[in-house]
Amino acid sequence: MLEFAKDFVILSGGSAGNPADFEASAAGLLHHVKGRIVEVEDGQARGQGLQKRAVASGIRGVVKFLAAEFVGGHVPIIQLCRARLAAGVHRFRRVYTSLPADLCPRGRLEPEAEGVTVKFFLDTANLDELKKGASWGIVDGVTTNPTLIAKEGRPIEEQVRMICDIVDGDISAEVISTEAEAMLGEGRKLAKIHKNSVVKCPLTRDGIKATSAFSKEGIRVNVTLCFSAAQALLAAKAGAYIVSPFVGRLDDIGAVGMDLIREITQIYDNYGFKTQILAASLRGPLHVIDSAMAGAHIGTMPFKVLDALFNHPLTDKGLDQFLKDYNKVFAESPAAR
């Protein structure tokens, strides 16, 4: 049993204390908002001793609140679907700030300032694809790898410089060396190509060694070829700017790639790691949607996948009907011409 107001203050990071991280089996929360009690049915409080910075980051994508309509004097019933630490405090505040003032025992909260948004990266080195994607105004960065660079037939320094002229955002350029010292020399050159350059290192022992050194030098690193939560933890400990778990390739071998995104999200939020999670190897629109729901900060995808996000038959059908209806009335008749 938790007092509603106190529980809210803790969840929102407003004071010290032990935040409630309720089990996924919790059936629901009854919010007795007028200073009454929050009753958690079939739930269990856990998450003792969480760091304050983890609390401030919220409860990401794990607490889903479904508020019932306010009828008469009834209080809302908010369904707790799942729980683990993440940015769900934003959701909690959004629900709470929408409540009528008389139902807020300690006053209304002001809505949060605009927060972090999901980013879309294009996974290509093709300049024509990048120009088209950039023209839509929704591309935040680019990821490349040796295979993609080789397809374009130009040296990596030249190709990356041209990419930076098209997309104003993080541009990942990967080292081809396999030993730490060689990675450091190569990576320093890549970092100097442009202010938006991000050095890409593989998740190997030498790659993590190089990542740790780069981070101490202020060089941003995208640690790639991540296939486990343990590897992602190593990347964060080494100070990686981005970690790239490969969703599609895990699906290819019978694993559930999106589960890895969820695991990394929980671990990073438990300890307040600043490393961004980039969902890589996204094969279609459902991968993009699922990675955003799982809490990935970034989704990188081929151009064809980004293009496919626009498509829906009802959009095409609706637009066609609108134009037909308009033209029936307003199109010039032959006699008027």
Q: Which tokens is 233 given?
A: 């933890």
Residues 126, 144: contact at Cβ < 8 Å? no
Residues 173, 190: contact at Cβ < 8 Å? yes
Task: Tell me, yes or no, whether 252 and 152 share the same domain.
Answer: yes
The answer as to whether 313 is a domain residue is no
The answer as to whether 213 is a domain residue is yes
The predicted-structure confidence for 26-62, as pLDDT tens digits, reads as follows 333 333 332 322 333 233 333 333 333 333 333 333 3
Task: Tell me, yes or no, whether 152 and 227 share the same domain.
Answer: yes
Catalytic pick from 200, 209, 274, 328?
Answer: 200
Q: Which of 70, 103, 136 is the last residue of a domain?
A: 103
Task: Tell me, yes or no, whether 86 and 130 share the same domain.
Answer: no
The pLDDT of residue 279 is above 70: yes
Task: Tell me, yes or no, whether 127 and 201 share the same domain.
Answer: yes
Residues spanned by the domain of 81 = 2-103
Q: Helices 4-11 and 89-97 sit at what angle, rounded to 10 degrees?
A: 130
The pLDDT of residue 218 is above 90: yes
Task: Tell me, yes or no, whether 67 and 211 share the same domain.
Answer: no
The answer as to whether 203 is a domain residue is yes
Q: Which tokens is 295 given?
A: 């809490």
Task: Tell me, yes or no, whether 169 and 285 share the same domain.
Answer: yes
The answer as to whether 334 is a domain residue is no
Task: Tell me, yes or no, whether 91 and 124 share the same domain.
Answer: no
Q: For the chain, what is the radius of gyration of the CA atoms?
A: 24
Q: What mean pLDDT is predicted for residues 235-262?
A: 97
The pLDDT of residue 64 is above 90: no
The confidence band for 331, taking pLDDT boundaries of 50, 70 and 90, is confident
Q: What mean pLDDT is predicted for residues 63-69?
A: 34
The number of distinct structural domains making up the chain is 2
Task: Tell me, yes or no, whether 125 and 255 share the same domain.
Answer: yes
| Cβ partners under 8 Å of residue 216, min gap 6 | 239
The pLDDT of residue 280 is above 90: yes
The answer as to whether 212 is a domain residue is yes
pLDDT at 117: 84
- Higher model confidence: residue 158 or residue 335? 158
Task: Tell me, yes or no, whether 82 and 192 share the same domain.
Answer: no
The answer as to whether 53 is a domain residue is yes
Task: Tell me, yes or no, whether 146 and 65 share the same domain.
Answer: no
Residues in the chain: 337
Annotated catalytic, 209? no
Task: Tell me, yes or no, whether 153 and 248 share the same domain.
Answer: yes
User: Domain with 168 in it: what CATH number?
Assistant: 3.20.20.70
The answer as to whether 233 is a domain residue is yes
Q: How far apart are CA 148 and CA 332, in angstroms?
A: 51
